[in-house]
Structure 1
Amino acid sequence: MEFFGRFLRWLALASGGVLLVLMVFTVADVIMRAAFDRPFSGSIEFTEFCMALIVFLAIPYTGWVGAHISVDLFEKYLDRPSLRLLPAVISFIGGALFLLIAWRVALETIATVHQVSNMMRMPHYPFRFTVAFCCMLFALVLFVRGAQTLERKPVGETAQP
C-alpha cells in the first residue's frame, strides 16, 4: 500500500505542476492581450484541458489522505451497532459510482477518439482517458477505505483471546 500511496502522491504533484503551467500561461496570455493586443488563440481550450487534469489527478490522493470535505450528519448515531457500517457502505457505494463514471468516460472516449478541439486541434482522448483512469483510482481508494472501516472494531469491543 505504501507504493500505491506514493503513486497517488505523484499524481497529485503532477496536478500541482499542471496548475503552475496554467498560471504561467494565463499571466502570459493576459500580458499578450494587454500589451500587444495579441492573446493566445485557444487559451480557453487550454484552460479547460488543464482544469480537467488539475481536478482529476488530485482526487485519488485527496481521498487517500482523507482530505475531502465531509459532513457528519449521523455522527451521534454511529455508536449504535445498526449504524456502525454506514461509513463503509457509503464508501462502497461511492466506489461503485466512480467505477461506473470511469467505465462510461472510457467508453465515450473510445467512441470519440478522433475528436479534437476547435482552435488548437488538440485531441480530447488523452485528457478523457486521464479522467477515466483517475476515477478508477479513486474508486479503488474508496473500496480500500470502506474495507478499512469494516476492519475497525467499534468502541468498547475487544478481541477475544
Structure 2
Amino acid sequence: MLKKLDSALRWSTGLMAAMALFALMWLTLVDVTGRKFFSNSVPGGLEITEILMVIVIFGALPMVSWRGEHVVFDTLDALIPDWLREIQARVVHLICAATFGFLGRLMLMRADRFAEYGDTTVHLQLSIAPVAWLMAALLGLTGLVHLLFVFVKAPVPEHIPFPAAADRTAP
C-alpha cells in the first residue's frame, strides 16, 4: 500500500512541482533575455513567478514529508533509546499533522475570502483564490501524510551522508 501511495504522490505533487520549476526556469530565461537584449520583460512575469513558486514550494511539501527529507537535528538521538525514539517520531508526526491541518484550514478560509472579494493579481488580473485553494489542499495533504505516519511507521529515507569534517582532506 505504501508503494502505491509513494507512486501516487510522485506522479501528482512531485510532477506538479517539477513542471512548475521547469516553467519557472524557462520564464526566467525568457524574462532575463528580453530585458537584456530587447529592453522588454515578460508582462506579468513577476506574478507568474510568484504563482509558480507557490506551486513548487507547496507541491513539494507532501513529497518532502512522505520521504522524510526535512532538515533534522539529531544531536541527542544517540542518547535516546530506540523504543523512545519511535514514540518521539509518532508524537512529532502528530504535531506536524495538527499544524499542517490547522494551516490548511486557515488557508482555506483565506481562499474563500479571496473568492468572495474577487481578489486578483495587479497586472494580469488573475484570480488569487484558486492558488490559495491549491495551497490549502496541499497543506491538508501534507497533514494527512503526517497523520498516516502516526499509525504506520514512516519509510526510512535514503540519505546520502554528509561527509564529516574528519573525512575531508586538506588541500
TM-score higher than 0.5 here?
yes
1:122 is matched with which residue?
Answer: 126
TM-score, structure 2 as length reference: 0.81
Q: Per-residue deviation at 1:19? A: 0.6
Q: 124, 145, 157: which is aligned to 1:141?
A: 145
2:10 is matched with which residue?
Answer: 9
SS of the counterpart of 1:112?
A: helix
2:105 is matched with which residue?
Answer: 103
Q: Per-residue deviation at 1:82? A: 5.5
Q: Which 5+ residue runs of structure 1 have no aligned equivalent?
A: 151-161
Aligned-partner Cα distance in 2 for 1:129–1:7 = 20
Q: What amino acid sits opposite 1:134 in the alignment?
A: L
Q: 18, 39, 42: which is aligned to 2:41?
A: 39
Runs of 4+ in 1 over 4 A off after TM superposition: 80-84
CA contact (8 A) 1:78 1:84 kept: no
Q: What amino acid sits opposite 2:5 in the alignment?
A: F
Q: 1:82 to 1:3 in 2, by over 3 A?
A: closer
2:164 is matched with which residue?
Answer: none
Aligned-partner Cα distance in 2 for 1:81–1:124 = 46
Aligned-partner Cα distance in 2 for 1:28–1:68 = 32
Q: 58, 81, 97: which is aligned to 2:60?
A: 58
Cα deviation per residue 1:29-85 (whole Å; 9 max; x = unaligned)? Answer: 111111111111221111111100001111101211222221113312320755651
1:90 is matched with which residue?
Answer: 92
SS of the counterpart of 2:90?
A: helix
Q: 1:59 to 1:30 in 2, by over 3 A?
A: same
Aligned-partner Cα distance in 1 for 2:83–2:33 = 61
Q: What amino acid sits opposite 2:150 in the alignment?
A: G
1:159 is matched with which residue?
Answer: none
Q: Per-residue deviation at 1:149? A: 3.9
TM-score, structure 1 as length reference: 0.85
Aligned-partner Cα distance in 1 for 2:133–2:152 = 29
RMSD between superposed Cα atoms in Å: 1.8
Question: Percent of pairs identical after alignment?
Answer: 23
Q: Name whichever of 88-97 and 34-43 sits farther off.
A: 34-43
Report the number of matched residues.
Answer: 150
CA contact (8 A) 1:95 1:140 kept: yes
SS of the counterpart of 2:18?
A: helix
CA contact (8 A) 1:15 1:58 kept: yes
Q: Which 5+ residue runs of structure 2 have no aligned equivalent?
A: 155-171
